[in-house]
Amino acid sequence: MEVSKTKSSFYRRLYVAWLIDSHIASNVPALTEVTGMPRRTAQDTIAALADLDIVCEFEQQDGARNHAGRYQIRSWGPVDKAWVGQHLEQIKQVLGYP
């Protein structure tokens, strides 16, 4: 099944937001481990969440250096988080993620 770049990009953003919000993977190394996506793709996907009006902010760990901390979803904007959770298997299948 051929999936458009637009759909795969959209699904990747939804999946990354869900992983961050669920505290399964709330930093770039954890996202790359869970999904297998390259580091740069994970970074670009987090940055692109704003295009969907999903508010994602980085929280620096107290006393830590070198950007140690985690991302937090502050708002899902117009996206229905419940829909993402209900369609998680479909999203992962389209993306080819474990």
pLDDT at res. 2: 83
Average pLDDT, the chain: 93
Q: Check residue 35 and report its DSSP letter.
A: H
Distances (CA, A) of 81 to 47, 57, 66, 69: 18, 17, 31, 23
Residues 61-66, mean pLDDT to the nearest whole number: 68
Q: What is the pLDDT of residues 7-54, one digit of tens each?
A: 999 999 999 999 999 999 999 999 999 999 999 999 999 999 999 999
Looking at the structure of the chain, the number of domains it has is 1
Percentage of the chain modeled with pLDDT above 90: 84
Is 10 within 8 Å of 96 (Cβ atoms)? no
At residue 54, what are phi and psi to the nearest 5 degrees? Answer: -90, 120
Q: Check residue 52 and report its DSSP letter.
A: G
- SS3 letters across 71-91: EEEEECCCCCHHHHHHCHHHH
Give 37-60 as a DSSP string: --HHHHHHHHHHGGGGT-EEEEEE
Containing domain of residue 17, as a range?
A: 5-95
pLDDT above 90 for 61:
no
- The whole-model pTM stands at 0.92
Percentage of the chain modeled with pLDDT above 70: 94
CATH number at residue 81: 1.10.10.10
